[in-house]
Chains A and B, each alone.
Chain A
Amino acid sequence: MKNQSITNNIDWISIVIYVALVILGWLNIYSSSISSMQDTYEKQLIFIVLTIPLIFIILAVDGKFYEKYASIIFGISLLTLAGLFLFGKTIAGQRCWYAIGSFTIQPSEFAKAATSLALAKFLSDTQINLKDTNRQIQALAIIFLPVLLILPQPDPGSALIYSIFIIVLYREGLPGWYVLTGFVTILLFILTLLLEPQYVILIGLGVLIIVHLKSRLADRNIVLSSILLVLISAFVLSVDYVFDNLFKQHHRDRFNILLGRAVDLKGIGYNTNQSEIAIGSGGWLGKGFLEGTQTKGGFVPEQHTDYIFTTVGEEWGFAGSLVVIALFTGLFLRIIYLAERQKTKFSRVYGYCVAGILFTHFFVNIAMVVGIFPTIGVPLPFFSYGGSGLWGFTILLFIFIKMDANKVNEW
C-alpha cells in the first residue's frame, strides 16, 4: 500500500464519460454564445480548468475522510444554505447565491453531495433498519432539512431533485408502499389536471374495485379500500383547489402549456416552443457545429444554461442527441454497477445517491427542453453553463470514484 498513486484503481470508464460530457458541453456552450458575442464560453473554460486541481484534491484525500466527517460536511452545508437568507444575493428573483466580487456561488449545488454523504453515513450504521418507523422519520428528516432551506429561496428545481432519495432509501429497505404512494400521487395529480376531478375519482374507484376482486379472498379488506377511496377523493379535490388557489399564475401556466390547455406561443409558452423548434429543426444529423440557425438567431432563451440541450439537438441532430443520452445513461448504469460492488454500505448508499441525483437532473432537464415536463430550472449535469453546478457535480461524482478506488483498501 505504499507509494500508491492517486490514480490507482480508479474507474477509468466513468472518468472517460465524464471528460467526454464536459468537453461536449463546452463545445455547445461555445456554439450558443459565440454568435451573441458573450464571453460565457471563456468563463466556462476557466471553470473547467479549475476542476482539474479540484479532482486531484478529492482523489488525494484519504478515502475514510468522507465517511468520518460526513455529519460535519452536512452541517456546514446546511449553514451555508441558511446563511443565504441573511447574506444571499438575489438574481432573477431567486436568493440562492453568495456573491464574492463579481463571482457568485450557489451553495445548493454543493448541498446535494453533502446530503448524500449524511444519508450514507446514517444508513451505514448496522443498527439501522428502515422497517422501523422512527428510522424512517430520521432518514426522511435528513432529506427534508435541506429541502426546507432551498424551497423558500425559491428554487423548486433544486428541491425537486431530493425526491430521488426516496428511491435510494427503498434500495436500502424502505417499505415499497412509500414509492408506490409517490407514483400514485404524481399520477393522480396529472390526471386531475387533465380530467375533471369526478372522472379521476371514478377511475380510482374502478381500479380499487378491480384490485379488490382480483385479490385473494383473505386479502380483501373493504375498510382499507374505502379509506383509500376517501383519500384519493380528498387528494384529487384538493389538487384542484391547490392548483387554482395556491399555485402562482406562472406555475399554472407551465402546467397548462404542457397539458395543451393553453396556447400562447409568444408569452409563457415561448421557451418550450422555441426549444422544440430548435431541436425539431435538427433532423437526423443536425445542421452541423456552429451552423444552427435557431441557435445563431438567439431564439432560445437561456440556451447556454438550462436549455443547452437544444444546441445539441439542432446542430448534432438525432444522432448527436442519442450519443449524449447514451453517455449519460452509460454513466448512471456504470455508477449503479460500481455501487452494488462496494464492500461498505456507506459507499454503496453514496454511489446510489450520486447515480440518482445525476439521473434526476438529466431527466428533468431534457424532459423540460423537449416539452414533456413543466418549465423548471434544473441544469444538465456537466453540460450547462455555471461554475457552481459543474463543481458541485464534479465533487459529487469524484468522491464516489475515490471511494470506489479505495475499496481494495478496506478490510
Chain B
Amino acid sequence: MRKVLLPSLIILATSLLVIRIFYLQIVDDTLKLESENNAIKKKYEYPERGYIYDRKGKLLVANQASYDIMVIPREVKNTDTLEFCQLLNITKEDFIKKIEKAKIYSPRLPSVFLSQLNKSEFAAFQEKIRKYEGFYFQKRSLRDYEVNFGANIFGFITQVNEKLVAKNPYYNSGDLIGRQGVEESYEDLLRGIKGIKYIQKDKYNREIGSYKDGKYDTIAVQGEDINLTIDAELQKYGEELMINKRGGIVAIEPRTGEILALVTAPSYDPGILVGRQRSKNYTRLYRDSIAKPLYDRGLLAEYPPGSPFKILTGLVGLQEGVVNENSTYSCYGGFSYGRGRFQKCHCKIFGSVKLHNGIFRSCNAYFSNVYLQTIGKYAKPAYAVDVWSNHIKSFGLGQFMGYDLPTGKKGNVPNSKTYKKVYPNGGWRGTTIISNAIGQGEVLMTPIQLANMMATVANEGYYYTPHIIKKIEGHKIDKKFTTKHVTTIDKKYYKPMISGLFDVYNQGTAFGLRVEGIDICGKTGTAENFAKINGIRTKLEDHSIFVAFAPKDNPKIAIAILVENGGYGAAIAGPIASLMIEKYLRQKITRVDLEKRILATSLQSRYAKLGGLSEAIKLQLRISDSLLQKKKIIPSVKVKIDSTKENKKAI
C-alpha cells in the first residue's frame, strides 16, 4: 500500500491533466472565439437603441444613423494623408495625433479614429474607404431627440470609459453607453445586445471566411423601447416656467408613485450632446460651476424644507396623541421658550390657534408647541426623538428613496444619535432642538422627497416609491415600484391636516393662487439662506418653496417646487405650482396673466449679484449656522460643493 501511493497519485494527476487538455483543445470551441485570439476576428453588429416614449405614448427619443471610422494602426499602409484629411475635414496634426492615440491603446486592435459622423459627413469618405488600408467604418445609431426638453431625465450617450471596458466584458473600447438619467438606469434594456460574427483569418492576417460556417455567430438583439411616466406636455411646461430661474420641480402621481415631471433649471437641449460637437458642448456644461446645468436640482438639492415640514410635525403630534384637532395654543407674533429665547412668527393670528388655522397661516408658535409636547411625552428626550424620527422616516425621508434614476441624496432626519454626538454629556431637551418643528434645524430634504411627502399626505398614509419607468414591452417593472409603503401615522389623522392644507388656498398663505374649479391643497415654504460676500455674512433672498396636491378628493398630482432666491413661498413657487396643476388637470391655462408674469420673471439679476457663488456653497454656510456646527463637534455637514461626484463618471 505504501509503495503504491505516489505512483497512483502520479497516474491520477496525469490523467486529470490529459483530460483537461483534451477538453481545452478538442472539445471546447468557445476558447477559440475569444477576442484576443488573433486568428479569428470578431465583427460586431450594433443593434439600434430602444426608443423612449412618454406616458401617453408620445415619442421623445429616437435614433439617427451615424458612422464611426475605425483604425487598426498595424494595418495602416501607404495612406494618402492629404486626401484622407480633406475627405474627413480634419487637419494633418489631428490625423497624426489620432493614430498615435490608437497605437497607444493597441497596435493590433481596432480603435475609434473618428466618431459619430452623420450621413452627409460620411458620404464622401464612404466611396473611397477601400483605398485606405487599416481603416473601416462601423455603422451605429445615435440618439435623435424629438423634443428639446427633458435632458436631465434622458441623460446622454457617450463612449464607454476604459475602466468599465476592463471590468465589464460586454463593452469594447469605443462602444457607446448611456450616462445619467434613464439612459444610464435602463442601459441594459435600451442598448440591446450586439451581434458578433466570427471571421477566420490565416496566418498572414487575411480573412478567409466565416468561422465554422457561422456556427457561433450571434444576431444583434434590438434594444427595448420604454415608456416613461413623464407627461411630456407637463414637463415641457415646467421647463418653460423655470426659464431664467434656478431650481427644481417634481410632480408625482400619488396613486402610483409615477413621476409626472422632473424639472431642473437651468437645463439644456438634449440635442447638443449628439454628434461631433458633443464633447465641446459637454465640456461647456460641465465647466459651468455657477448655473450647473448638469446638476439635477429636483433630485440632488438638499435643503431644510422649512414650513412644509410643519405638516409632518402636526401629523406626528396627532399620532402620538399629544394634541388633537381642537387643542389650542396662542400666538402673539412668536413663541418664547424659556430664558428669553424667542422664535418669531409671521402668522399674524394674535390669538388662539388650532391645527386648522395653524396650518393655513403657517404658525411657527403652534407647531413649536406641538413639537415640544411630542418630545416631552416621554421621560427621556432621546427616546422621544427616536420615536419622532421613526415617524418621519416612514415617509421615506432621510434615506435614498430607491427610485430608478442614477443620482440622489439621502437628505437628513436627525435622531438621538445625532444629538448624542453634539451633546455627549446629555442635557438637551425639546427646546434645544426646537428648530426641527418648523423644518429648519437639522432636517434636510430634496425636492423629490418633498413631492413624495405630499403624495403620501394625498394618499392619506401610503406611498409608492417614485419611479420614472411606466412600461417596458415584454417586461414587468420592478416589484419595488408596486409595493405599498405605509406610514406610521394612522389614516384618520390625515383628514384634519388635508382640510388645513385646503384652506391654505381659501384663507391662507396662497389665497391669491386659487384655480377656479380645482380644489388644491398646498403649503408654502421659505428657506432662509446666507452667503459670505466680500467676507461679510449676508442674508440673501429666500428660496421660494411650495408643495401641493390636487384635486383634494381623489388626488391626481402631488408637486414640490423650489426656486432658488425666489422670495417667499407664494411669490414664485406657489404660482408655478398652481399653473402646473392646472396644466396637468385641464391641459389649458385660464389665468393667462399669471402665466405671462411667471414666464417673464427673470431672477438672473439676483443670481448675477451672487457672482460665482454656487448654491451649494451658500448652503454650506447656512448649515454651518445650525446647531451641530455651533457646538463644533460635527466638523461640517457634508454638502457637495458642486455636482462633481454626480458627473465625474460621465466624462
Contact = CB atoms under 8 A, between A and B. Distances in A.
Interface of A: 167-168, 170-171, 173, 179, 263-267, 273-274, 276-277, 279-284, 287, 291, 293-294, 297, 299, 313, 317-318, 321-322, 325, 328-329, 332-333, 336, 340, 352, 355-356, 359, 363, 366-367, 370-372
A281 B40 CA distance: 10
A95 to B, nearest CB: 31
A321 B25 CA distance: 10
Contacts of A170: 2, 5
B16 interface: yes
A277 B31 contact: yes
B130 interface: no
B592 interface: no
A363 B167 CA distance: 31
Of all A-B residue pairs in the complex, the 4 with the closest CB atoms, nearest first, are: A280-B31, A280-B24, A318-B25, A293-B39
Contact of A367 (B17, B38, B167): B17
B25 A264 contact: no
13 contacts: A170-B2, A263-B169, A265-B34, A276-B31, A277-B31, A281-B32, A287-B203, A328-B14, A329-B10, A332-B10, A333-B7, A363-B17, A367-B20
Interface string B5-21: 11101110110111011
Interface string B525-558: 0000000000000000000000000000000000
A352 B6 contact: yes
B277 interface: no
Contact of B17 (A263, A273, A283, A325): A325
Given A277-B34, A321-B21, A359-B10, 17 more contacts: A168-B6, A171-B6, A263-B169, A273-B36, A277-B31, A279-B25, A280-B24, A281-B32, A293-B38, A294-B39, A318-B26, A329-B10, A333-B7, A366-B17, A367-B16, A370-B17, A370-B24
Contact of B9 (A167, A264, A273, A287): A167
Given A171-B5, A313-B24, A299 B36 contact: yes
A297 B34 CA distance: 14
Contacts of B10: 329, 332-333, 336, 355, 359
Contacts of A263: 169
B2 A265 contact: no
B92 interface: no
A374 to B, nearest CB: 15
A340 B3 contact: yes
A283 B26 contact: yes
A353 to B, nearest CB: 11
B203 A293 contact: yes
A340 B5 CA distance: 13
A297 B6 CA distance: 39
Contacts of B169: 263, 265
Nearest to B6: A167
A280 B166 contact: no
Contacts of A167: 5-6, 9
A322 B6 contact: no
Interface string B611-634: 000000000000000000000000
Please tell me the size bucket of the interface on B.
20 to 34
By secondary structure, the A interface counts as: helix
Contacts of B6: 167-168, 171, 336, 352, 355-356, 359
Residue of A276, A299, A370, A372 contacting most chain B CB atoms (<10 Å): A370
Contacts of A332: 10
B2 A280 contact: no
Interface of B: 2-3, 5-7, 9-11, 13-14, 16-18, 20-22, 24-26, 28, 31-32, 34, 36-39, 108, 165-167, 169, 203
A328 B14 CA distance: 9
Nearest to B202: A293
Contacts of B32: 277, 280-281
Contacts of B165: 266
A294 B22 contact: no
Interface majority SS on B: helix, strand, loop or mixed?
helix
A89 to B, nearest CB: 32
A253 to B, nearest CB: 13
Contacts of A318: 21-22, 25-26
A352 B10 CA distance: 12
A168 B9 CA distance: 12
B14 A279 contact: no
A281 B17 contact: no
Contact of B38 (A266, A299, A356): A299
Nearest to B9: A167
Contact of A297 (B3, B108, B166): B108
A28 B647 CA distance: 51
Contacts of A293: 37-39, 203
A322 B20 CA distance: 12
A133 to B, nearest CB: 19
Contacts of A277: 31-32, 34, 36-37
A372 B16 contact: yes
A221 B14 CA distance: 38
Nearest to B25: A318
**Which of B24, B34, B169 counts the most chain A CB atoms within 10 A?**
B24
Contacts of B21: 279, 313, 318, 321-322, 325, 370
Contacts of B11: 329
B31 A329 contact: no
A60 to B, nearest CB: 30
A367 B13 CA distance: 9
A40 to B, nearest CB: 22
A376 to B, nearest CB: 16
Contacts of A287: 203
Given A329-B10, A336-B7, A297 B18 contact: no
Nearest to B11: A329
A162 to B, nearest CB: 15
Contacts of A179: 5
Most chain A C-beta atoms within 10 Å of own C-beta, residue among B10, B18, B166: B10
A328 B39 CA distance: 31
Given A170-B2, A294-B38, A313-B21, A280 B28 contact: yes
B25 to A, nearest CB: 5
Nearest to A363: B13
A230 B96 CA distance: 69
B174 to A, nearest CB: 15
A291 B203 contact: yes
B14 A281 contact: no
Contacts of A294: 36-39
Contacts of A371: 20, 24
A293 B10 CA distance: 32
Contacts of A370: 17, 20-21, 24
B24 A279 contact: yes
B246 to A, nearest CB: 43
A302 B182 CA distance: 44
Nearest to A299: B36
Contacts of A356: 6
Contacts of A276: 24, 31
B585 to A, nearest CB: 51
A180 B26 CA distance: 35
Given A313-B24, A367-B17, A281 B9 contact: no
Contacts of B34: 265, 273, 277
A166 to B, nearest CB: 10
A284 B25 contact: yes
B31 to A, nearest CB: 3
A321 B2 CA distance: 30
A267 B11 CA distance: 34
Contacts of B31: 276-277, 280-281
A400 to B, nearest CB: 15
A332 B9 CA distance: 11
B17 A313 contact: no
Contacts of B39: 281, 293-294
A322 B25 CA distance: 12
A378 B22 CA distance: 23
Nearest to B29: A280
